[in-house]
Amino acid sequence: MGSVQKAKIAVLVSGGGTNLQALIDAQKSNIIKSGEIVLVVSNNPNAYAITRASLAGIPSVIVSKKELGSQEAFEEKLIGVLEENGIELIILAGFMSILSESFTSRYPKRIINVHPSLIPSFCGKGFYGLRVHEEALKKGVKVTGATVHYVNEIPDGGEIILQRSVSVKRNETPESLQQKVMRQAEWKILPKAAELVSNEIIKSRKVTKK
Ligand code: GAR
C-alpha cells in the first residue's frame, strides 16, 4: 500500500458479530488491504460482537437508542462518534436499527450493509435476521443468498455491490439456512465489498488532492 493511508472503517453491530469476525479475519489475511477497522459501534451493550472487537484490539463504543431516548439523539451521538474518529466507511454488519434519511444522506456511497437474502427478495422493513430465512422457506425458494449494498434512505434499497447465491435443500430449517447463508455467502462477500469500497475511497481521495 506504500504511504497511502488506509480508509478508516467503523463497523456497526448489534449481536453475535460473526460478520464483524469475518471482516477482522479478512483484514489479517490481507483480503482487506485498502481499509482498516478502527472502531466498532454497538447499539446493544450485551452484543458478543463487542468481545470480538476487544479480542482483536479494536476500540468499541456503545450508542444506545434506548438510553438516548430518540432517533434524533441516537443519530446525533452516532455522527459525533464517527466524526471524532475520522471514519470514512461505515459497515453495517448485523446492525438491527434503521437509519433515517438525515443520517444516510450525510454519507452517500459511504455506508454498506449485508443482508441475508438475494435482494429484492425478502428485504425491507421487518426483514432481518432469522425472519428472512423463515419467509424464504415459507415461499419454498430453491435458491437464496446474501447481498451487500450501499445504504440509502430506503431500507435495503441502495445500489447492489455484490451478491452470492446459496442452494436450499429439502428439510432445511431457518437456523440451518441462516448458517449456510452466512458461511457460504455473507462472510465471503462482505469482506470483498469492504475492500472494493475502501479502494474506491482511497482513489477518490487521491483525485481530490491533485
Ligand atoms: C446476519 O445474518 C446479517 O446478514 C443479518 O443479521 C445477521 C447478523 O449476524 N442482518 C440483517 O438481517 C439486516 N437486515 P452477526 O451479528 O453474526 O453478523
- Tens place of pLDDT for every residue, the chain, 210 residues? 456 899 999 999 999 999 999 999 999 999 999 999 999 999 999 999 999 999 999 999 999 999 999 999 999 999 999 999 999 999 999 999 999 999 999 999 999 999 999 999 999 999 999 999 999 999 999 999 999 999 999 999 999 999 999 999 999 999 999 999 999 999 999 999 999 999 999 999 876 655
22 alpha carbon – ligand 1 mean position (Å): 12
Does any ligand 1 atom lie closer than 6 A to the CB of residue 18?
A: yes
Which is the closest atom of ligand 1 to the Cα of 127? 14
19 alpha carbon – ligand 1 mean position (Å): 7
Burial 109-134 (b: 16+ CB within 10 A, else e): bbbbbbbbbbbebbbeeebbeeebbb
Does any ligand 1 atom lie closer than 6 A to the CB of residue 23?
A: no
d(CA 4, CA 199): 11
12 alpha carbon – ligand 1 mean position (Å): 11
Q: Are 144 and 181 in contact (CB under 8 A)?
A: yes
- In 3D space, the residue among 175, 103, 184 whose CA is nearest the CA of residue 133 turns out to be 175
**Active-site positions?**
115
Does any ligand 1 atom lie closer than 6 A to the CB of residue 15?
A: yes
d(CA 37, CA 84): 15
pLDDT at 4: 86
Label residue 39 exposed, middle or buried (CB < 10 Å: 0-12, 13-18, 19+). buried
pTM of the full structure: 0.96
Does any ligand 1 atom lie closer than 6 A to the CB of residue 145?
A: no
